[in-house]
Amino acid sequence: MSEKQEERNLPRNMPQMMTHVDPYLYEMLQACTGSYVVIQTMKDTVRGELAQVYPDHVVVVHNGYYFYVRIPQIIWVLRH
């Protein structure tokens, strides 16, 4: 079955995820992987080791707790 035929078989009201990724912030976060960081979000501050970076979120580990922060919520990042 071709791609066009497959697209026609999908429901028209099927939700699609769209997210804006700032390539400069994403690249800087990747460079900080493994470092201790302070991340200011719209709601709070998260501190710990930047363990993983994904296109839509980062994982910060502090005292064995994992914090998942959405990249669009990040205001600034401080690398120690």
Nearest CA to 44 out of 79, 12, 76 is that of 76
Which of the four CATH numbers 1.10.3720.10, 3.40.190.10, 2.30.30.100, 3.40.50.11310 does domain 22-79 have? 2.30.30.100
pLDDT computed for residue 9 by the predictor:
67
pLDDT averaged over 10-residue windows placed end to end, the chain, 80 residues: 57 72 92 98 97 96 97 96
pLDDT computed for residue 20 by the predictor:
74
Whole-prediction pTM value?
Answer: 0.75
So where are the chain's domains? 22-79
pLDDT computed for residue 10 by the predictor:
62
